[in-house]
Structure 1
């Protein structure tokens, strides 16, 4: 989803020499939360309701506005806009192209649109979210940990205990995974069905702690449920940045499958049965 698909093209403007009181009147009249400050056809800043409240009404807009406002392009991804809004702690962002103002995007509109990418059952974002995060990190050549989590024997669980019980398992596992997250360094999604993906920028010690916690059994109504975990370490994987995110997810997924297979065969270490590709990691302790 691109910015152009959700931006508001109709934007109210004001010149920098007008008074804050005049700006406040216009914002109340038009029932809007901001005005774009434009002089001689060029954007000078943005005046928000927050700026109005913190300024004396007799001051001019130039003194109260936020200069050099954060902006995005119409073809930017809305996940990128969401990240900027969080980083700068702002409620709206200008849409600019070749120095020309094209519109405005608000946090409210971004969150409304992103809610369509949220899994209603778990409250986690779905696969498009993690794809955006991973692809952006690869573009920036920032290594990361990719963790693929898959519930063991989920089909059998549904058949033996019923689908409502299976829904409880999915929901409680998502809560467990979310509780392990650090909001500054971790990104989590329900990838598909009973599969979850976490991308982490945290240090290896903390990631290892999370991995060990993930492999501990989840007890749901006195039934123990275990997971298989595939793990790719971006700091150790050869040619990490030559891989696509799809390739990395595939590798982690295959490692989780190997985990399951070794568990069924009773091996304590998957490397005893089948070699793991160089640079890849796999949790070797599970229930």
Structure 2
């Protein structure tokens, strides 16, 4: 489960005065591994001085002239994924963490990168399942539609036993690369576990069908290591939303993933290896 910003932030942070000289701050930075400093003027935080600012600035300048810009804030209860998004969108190495209107700590880009790294699948280079759970929750908060395409490698247990785990790992890496290269912008792919992958889209299930079929075809057309025949099945879960979503969004997301997973198992028996699992129950879940 992804941690909150409050769990990785630094509470005992060091501030620097806007009128201090850069040389003084450089001396502080040398004694402690600090990626940035909140800058204060008469006790009020007015900006941030990053380590990069220190490197670029002449020692005789003052902090006020050298700091890179305005403060960027994030709420303490936000997931670390949100901090990652802010660092990607903003040119900063440090965020001020707030609880209500009070600054309670700082979180650095390095700390976020370390935490995010724990949620990266080392074999395939894809994020793990909590990545699309977070993205799906964000979509629902924004009133968007969501569907899950769940991919499951056919007979992977047999492949693993027949050709060995090293070959099996190479095949999983190839499949991950194919799926990732063919996932359109605005969709989010993860390795869900074992030989399973999940893709989040902001389309209803019917509109996701063509995408799923195209990705299955790409896998089918690929020449795998040792000319081993590889098939992948897919299940889709989504719905036509009739009313605004209320209630526990995480429960909705978990239900969609579960139904898509069950649909992918059923798809193994179908000629085109694709099953839509959005009828009946799913409409009630996804409304």
TM-score (structure 1 length as normaliser): 0.79
CA contact (8 A) 1:180 1:210 kept: no
How far the C-alpha of 1:229 sits from its partner, in A, is 1.4
Q: Tell me, in whole angstroms, the C-alpha distance in 2 between the residues paired with 1:269 and 1:225.
A: 15
Q: Tell me, in whole angstroms, the C-alpha distance in 2 between the residues paired with 1:245 and 1:205.
A: 18
User: Which residue among 249, 257, 261 is the counterpart of 1:253?
Assistant: 261
Q: Tell me, in whole angstroms, the C-alpha distance in 2 between the residues paired with 1:31 and 1:192.
A: 36
Instruction: Tell me the SS of whatever aligns to 2:34.
Output: coil
TM-score (structure 2 length as normaliser): 0.79
User: Which residue among 5, 10, 13 is the counterpart of 2:12?
Assistant: 10
CA shift in 2, pair 1:138/1:19, >3 Å: same
Q: Tell me, in whole angstroms, the C-alpha distance in 2 between the residues paired with 1:188 and 1:57.
A: 46
CA shift in 2, pair 1:24/1:115, >3 Å: same
Instruction: Tell me the SS of whatever aligns to 1:121.
Output: coil
CA contact (8 A) 1:237 1:278 kept: no
How far the C-alpha of 1:190 sits from its partner, in A, is 0.8
Q: Tell me, in whole angstroms, the C-alpha distance in 2 between the residues paired with 1:261 and 1:67.
A: 58
Q: Tell me, in whole angstroms, the C-alpha distance in 2 between the residues paired with 1:268 and 1:96.
A: 49
Residue equivalent to 2:235: 230
Gaps of 5+ in 1: 281-287
CA contact (8 A) 1:186 1:202 kept: no
How far the C-alpha of 1:54 sits from its partner, in A, is 5.3
Q: Which moved more, 1:200-209 or 1:156-165?
A: 200-209
Q: Tell me, in whole angstroms, the C-alpha distance in 1 between the residues paired with 2:118 and 2:275.
A: 39
Show CA shifts across 1:81-119 (max 9, x none): 112111214322111223332222112121212222222
Instruction: Report 1:81-230 matches (<5 A).
Output: 81-182=83-184, 185-201=186-202, 208-209=210-211, 211-216=213-218, 217=220, 218-220=222-224, 221-230=226-235
Aligned length: 273
Gaps of 5+ in 2: 283-287
- RMSD over equivalenced CA pairs, Å: 3.4
